[in-house]
């Protein structure tokens, strides 16, 4: 993980590197949370309801995609091997 160093301005301001902003979806005007953990200060975008809901939607969509892939693979296996003897759902 590359390190990004920045100087703190006289008023305590720091610019978050563009690469990190882009990767984390941080845009101008967004709020940032500062969390102190042991001897470190962690910056993170706040978890708002819409961002959380979007994560759940993406996860649900991926689950549906995987279920469809498994259904197709199962049907293909059944076509090649036939039903497993003694198997019941």
Q: What is the pLDDT of residue 17?
A: 92
DSSP the chain: ------PPPTTS--PPPHHHHHHHT--TT---EEEEETTEEEEE----HHHHHHHHHHHHHHHHHHHHHHHHHHHHHHHHH-PPTT---
Residue 13 lies in a domain: yes
Q: Are residues 67 and 52 in the same domain?
A: yes
pLDDT, tens digit, 9 for 90 and up, residues 31-88: 888 999 999 999 887 677 777 788 889 999 999 999 988 888 888 887 777 666 666 5
What's the total number of domains in the chain?
A: 2
Q: What is the pLDDT of residue 88?
A: 58
Provide the whole-model pTM.
0.47
Q: What is the pLDDT of residue 89?
A: 57
Domain membership of residue 59 as a residue range? 46-77
């Amino acid at each position: 993980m590359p390190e990004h160093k920045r100087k703190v301005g006289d008023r305590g301001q720091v610019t978050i590197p563009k690469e990190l902003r882009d990767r984390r979806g941080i845009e101008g005007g967004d709020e940032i949370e500062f969390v102190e953990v042991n001897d470190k200060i962690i910056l993170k975008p706040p978890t708002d309801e819409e961002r959380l809901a979007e994560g759940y939607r993406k996860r649900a969509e991926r689950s549906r995609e995987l279920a469809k892939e498994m259904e197709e693979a199962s049907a293909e296996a059944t076509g090649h091997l036939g039903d497993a003897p003694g198997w019941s759902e």
